[in-house]
Amino acid sequence: MTKNTGWVIAGCLLLTQLVHADEINDERVKFVESERADCAANDGKLIALENVDPEKTMVVWVDRWLMGVQTTEQVKYELLPKQEPTPLGCSMTKDGDQHWTVSSTEAVGP
């Protein structure tokens, strides 16, 4: 591999991480961080997903990223109105950092 190829790969990895930042385009769903002992053991926080719409159930598909690489896991959550945040996992694990991105949301119900 040439030196330039290495820079191109590094740039692509950085761009991937920027594009897949923890952003949600739907304001009815948000990520929440909280303290939890098992997460704190690895200097992390518990990451949870919350429905902030007071009336509609939100169907949310979430992708998990571990050490900057998207995993094959895509999980569907049905978040009820006024429900406690749904835990996803710790931001830091023994294997490295992880985060989640929302791939789609849909409001259902009245």
Residues 43-81 have pLDDT tens digits of: 999 999 999 999 999 999 999 999 999 999 899 999 999
Quote the mean pLDDT of the chain: 83
What CA–CA distance (Å, rounded) separates 43 from 94? 10
CA–CA gap between residue 12 and residue 64 (Å, rounded): 19
Tokens of 31: 């990520």
Is the full-model pTM beyond 0.85? no
Considering the segment(s) 22-108 as one domain, its CATH architecture is Sandwich (2.60)
Domain locations along the chain: 22-108
How many Å apart are CA 70 and CA 38, to the nearest integer?
23
